[in-house]
Structure 1
Amino acid sequence: MKKIFQQYYANLFLTDRLFVALACCVLLFVLKFFFNWLGEIPEIASGVTFVLLFLDIFILYRNENGIEAKRITAKRLSNGDENPIEILLKNRYGFGVKLRVIDEVPFQFQLRDKDFKLALKPYELKSIHYNLRPTKRGEYDFGFIRAYTGSPLGFVNKRYNFDGAQILPVYPSFINLGQYELMAISRNLTEFGIKKIRKIGQSSEFDQIKNYVGGDDIRTINWKATARKGGLMVNTYTDERSQNVYCIVDKSRVMRMPFEGLSLLDYAINASVALSKVAMLKQDKAGLITLSETIGSIIPADRKASQLGHIIRVLYKEKTRYLESNMEALYSSIRNVVKQRSLLVFFTNFESLSALQRQMPYLKRISKYHLLVVVFFENTELKSLSTEPAKDVEGIYHKTIAEKFIYEKKLMALELKKYGILSILTPQQKLTVNVINQYLALKAQQKI
């Protein structure tokens, strides 16, 4: 009995309207000392207030399931993206109610603003929509849904606690993969920031013989088939398929730097997933290598249906380390695992030219056997600092240093180009688009 009473008492909350009514009753009793003509009015007002209070409690508690609430989410969240969250609410009371709904989101978001106010008509169904943007991979623990319900009398609120406890994993970005699929197959790639690349010559992989239509290259006319059919026939060719595309993700300390909540490692992981998806759509094989002071995970290139899911599950667990990457171990692993010439997209970062020069011998040896693309990052905060006008001598000093680092990044790209190594120097926000753009350009130019 005591437990039941405590349960009801714990979920009962007095409102400001009740305190205002009680304050008015007290005021009437005070005024009665000075104005006798008030008579029994204070007692009547107090009695009406308490009757309304108990009536309010009765009509709220007579229906144990007066409010229903349910949180609807995906089975997993996408890192760095806006993930939609929906709360369904239903009023089972025979009268309209006012609701205050609090959703206990995971502590990682550090949010206290998921507090919604709305009104529901009798037996009405409504939904609340909002978005969450996680910035770290891992498990996110959602808590209760708290719904504070008030009747039209408004003297008390009853709290409903819905056990919406959920633990959702946050995986590398997958929400926008559909957009990148369009990038892989669409001819109008400029809408996505992708340049159209004119093909040099034609692919060596024969596709079919078809009837000539206006605009076909006359150099592809098949004269033997034309003679047999009595009409112009042309050969068609497709991009070469089944080529290996490996994403190499550096997990060393240089990838710990955060931008807009995401670390460089997370940006690289999201881009790797997107590139693997596009490569498989282009009928190439996608693989993965991670490294820090030792080699981490190695997934041999393949294009089977489960390959992308395997890559995502492996990248889900990857974390940055505190030591430098072991390029010698990377070179040995590539020589042992990657047996044929492949496209290697190496996601890393260099903050100084000397750091690049330390790794250059290994990069040159890798590029001797494979088509290597080194992807490293612009420091967008330094770039914004360099564009701001200096207000004093200290500001001039800071701006000069920022411009020096920006210039050094450009020297790194030139240093790589000098040895025939392709590079992408990109801001974090455009990483995925720029990497896919480079891959499609290399496919169009038949360099892989």
Structure 2
Amino acid sequence: MTKSLKNLWDRFLFQGRGILPSRRLISIFIILSLVLLVLSFGNLSWWAFIFMNVVLFLVSLVDLFFSPKKKDLHFKRHIPDEMERNLSYKVQIDVTNMSTYSLSFTLIDGIPQSFQSTFPMNGRVDQLITSTLEYETKASVRGEYEITMLYFRYSSKLGLWKKQMTIDLTNKIKVIPDLTETKQFLENAQKYLLFEGNKIRRHQTGIGDFSQIRNYVVGDDPRKINWRQTAKLRQVMTNEYEPEHGKYITILIDCGRMMGAELSKGNRLEKALEAAHLVAAAALQNGDYVSVLAFAKDVKVFVPPAKGMAHLQTILHSIYNVTVDSAESNYAAVFSFLEAMQKKRSLLLLFSDIRTFLYEEHALLYLERLRQRHLFLMVGIEDVTLQMRTEEKPESVQQAMIKSIAQQQMLFKKKEKIKWERQGLVMIEAKEEHLATAAVSHYIDIMNRNLL
């Protein structure tokens, strides 16, 4: 295909710049040609047939003078800089018509294919005004995107010809994980955790950082009375403690091949990122230091420990575009890296596939060394298919074989988990919709019990 033919084909595909005949004009030509063709079987000559078509074509060109010039049209796109995955957002496009002619238009925005939307969109702009077109879109794949093009086709009142424009409008968008659960937790942490059966409790008496000495009030624990200050001031004074802050939380996110397994909504990595962000928010709100490490075959992202809610944005912008690798995860290399980087005692919270992790014998050697300094907790997603296979009632020999293999896998998993937990390496599994809740609940439980 030559360059000129390719440009013409792109123009009909709503790309490029140029002028195209409208359906109305093509319909008029077809009807007129059919009428003249019938008449040509009579006394009408072919020259008259050609002449009348040429006249109609030249007359139709007058319609172009009653449509706005391209330099009189201005465009602006309003789209959020950050969009959460699978959440709907509104995008507005302002079309300003500076000419004295009104127009009808068809528009296609050049958003990536992973964004869901309905195009083309139709509208109308009167003379000397700005019209706003609005549509909704949602992004299903995390990452950084750049929208550069806007395709616009418009016609005048008669609508015989259409002018086509390709406008260069550049917008950069970051698609981040779904933060719905994080927002719910920050609004009301206790209400968010109630259905899980876990509550945010006060620390034990005398445990925590000393805060202040104040007057004793009814309901205070008598064991916290400060008798020295009571005797000095001749009124009952009590010590007040606040929960210990400044603990170190290290969140490990597995990005290996098995984390790409599809779930009912997204894959395992998507759920792990959402849960990791929720735990980071809970820890930072509690005044702890949080570091994040994403890995697969090698370390992909490492965010050094820091405290304060501002650090949550640093974590989010560092891990929002991590993807699943095709290679298996190298746990030994990651634990060796962590042993060199994290010198202070911390809670190691690993989001990974427990079944795959249990086959890593070399990882156990590194974890036994890490356990001497750190507290380890692994969180994974339940294998719904495996659970369903073990519970179904077999009705054939093949189903019985499948069930026996599934039960064998379940027994192996339980046996290996017991072996690891005897070494002080706690592993838990949760359903995909409760992964974030289970992770933050266990974090709160560890803090409440002062295990760290």
Structure 1 length as normaliser, TM-score? 0.77
Q: In structure 1, how many angstroms separate the alpha carbons of the residues matched to 2:37 and 2:301? A: 79
Q: Distance in 1 between matches of 2:62 and 2:313?
A: 57
Paired residue secondary structure (1:74): coil
Q: Percent identity?
A: 20
Q: Return the offset for 1:131.
A: 2.4
1:87 equivalenced with 2:95 (yes/no)? no
Amino acid of the structure 2 residue aligned with 1:144: M
Counterparts in 2 of 1:330 and 1:19: CA distance versus 1, 3 Å: closer
Aligned to 1:446, what secondary structure does the other structure show?
A: coil
Code of the residue aligned with 1:16 in structure 2: it is: R
Structure 2 vs 1, CA of residues 289 and 97 (structure 1 numbering), >3 Å: closer, same or farther? Answer: same
Out of 6, 16, 19, the position equivalent to 1:12 is 19
Residue 105 of structure 1 deviates from its aligned partner by 2.0
Distance (Å, rounded) in 2 between the aligned partners of 1:128 and 1:259: 32
User: Which structure 1 segments of 5+ residues have no match?
Assistant: 37-41
Match of 1:25 among 7, 20, 32: 32
- Partner of 1:342 in structure 2? 346
1:74 counterpart residue number: 80
Q: Tell me whether 1:140 sits opposite 2:145 in the alignment.
A: yes
1:157 to 150, 158, 162: 162
Q: Cα–Cα, structure 1 residues 160 and 378, in superposed 2: closer, same or farther, change >3 Å?
A: same
TM-aligned CA deviation for residue 359 of structure 1? 3.6
**1:188-337 equivalences in 2 (<5 Å):** 188-190=191-193, 195-199=198-202, 201-202=204-205, 203-210=207-214, 216-217=220-221, 219-222=223-226, 234-259=238-263, 262-293=266-297, 298-303=302-307, 307-315=311-319, 320=325, 322-327=327-332, 329-337=333-341
Residue 64 of structure 2 is matched in structure 1 by 57
Return the offset for 1:348: 2.2
**Any idea what SS the aligned residue of 1:438 has?**
helix
The question of whether the paired residues in 1 share the 8 Å contact of 2:358 and 2:413 is answered with no
Cα separation, 2, equivalents of 1:133 and 1:99: 26
For residue 116 of structure 1, what is the aligned residue in structure 2?
Answer: 121
Maintained 8 Å contact 2:115/2:139: no
Cα deviation code 1:9-64 (max 9, x no counterpart)? 9422222222222233234334556999xxxxx9999799657733432222x432
C-alpha distance 263-95 of structure 1, shift in aligned 2 (>3 A): same
Secondary structure of the structure 2 residue equivalent to 1:430: helix
Q: Hey, what's the Cα distance between the residues in 2 that align with 1:356 and 1:86? A: 47
- Counterpart code for 1:432: A
| Distance in structure 2 (CA, Å) of the matches to 1:363 and 1:377 | 21
Change (3 A) 1:19 1:264: same
- CA distance 1:388–1:156, change in 2 (3 Å): farther
Find the aligned partners of 1:310 and 1:354 in 2 and give their Cα distance: 32
Q: 1:19 to 1:295 in 2, by over 3 A?
A: closer
C-alpha displacement at 1:427, in angstroms?
3.5
The verdict on how the C-alpha distance between 1:393 and 1:95 changes in structure 2, with shifts beyond 3 A counting, is farther
Q: Is the 8 A contact 1:180 1:274 kept in 2?
A: no
Residue 268 of structure 1: CA displacement? 3.2
- The number of aligned residues is 432
Q: Distance in 2 between matches of 1:189 and 1:436?
A: 10
Distance 1:22 1:321 in 2: 57
Structure 1, residues 321-371: CA drift from partner, whole Å, max 9, x if none?
A: 6244242x4454444433332111122223368515564343344223221
For residues 361 and 161 of structure 2, the distance between their equivalents in structure 1, rounded to whole angstroms, comes to: 71
- Residues 365-411 of structure 1, C-alpha deviations (whole Å, 9 max, x = no match): 42232211112222345456677887865455545545654565555
In structure 2, how many angstroms separate the alpha carbons of the residues matched to 1:392 and 1:146?
58
Distance 1:46 1:213, change over 3 A: farther
Rounded to whole Å, the distance in 2 between the matches of 1:100 and 1:330 is 53
The TM-score, its normalising length taken from structure 2, stands at 0.76
| Equivalences for residues 367-446 of structure 1 within 5 A | 367-383=371-387, 394=398, 397-398=401-402, 401-402=405-406, 405=409, 408-409=412-413, 412-446=416-450
Q: What is the one-letter code of the residue matched to 1:158?
A: K
Shift of 1:246: 0.7
In the alignment, the residues of structure 2 paired with residue 383 and residue 116 of structure 1 have an alpha-carbon distance, to the nearest angstrom, of: 47
- Specify the alignment match of 2:46 in structure 1: none
Residue segments in structure 2 that go unaligned for 5+ positions in a row = 44-48
* CA separation of 1:419 and 1:230: change in aligned 2, threshold 3 A: same
Q: Supply the distance in 2 between the matched residues of 1:193 and 1:173 (Cα, whole angstroms).
A: 23
Contact 1:246 1:345 in 2 (8 A): yes
In the alignment, which residue of structure 2 is the partner of 1:39? none
1:396-448 per-residue CA deviation (whole Å, 9 max, x = no partner) reads 55455456545655555444444433223124443333222221222222222
Q: Residues of 2 paired with 1:240 and 1:71: CA distance? A: 48
Instruction: Name the CA distance, whole Å, in 1 between partners of 2:155 and 2:436.
Output: 49
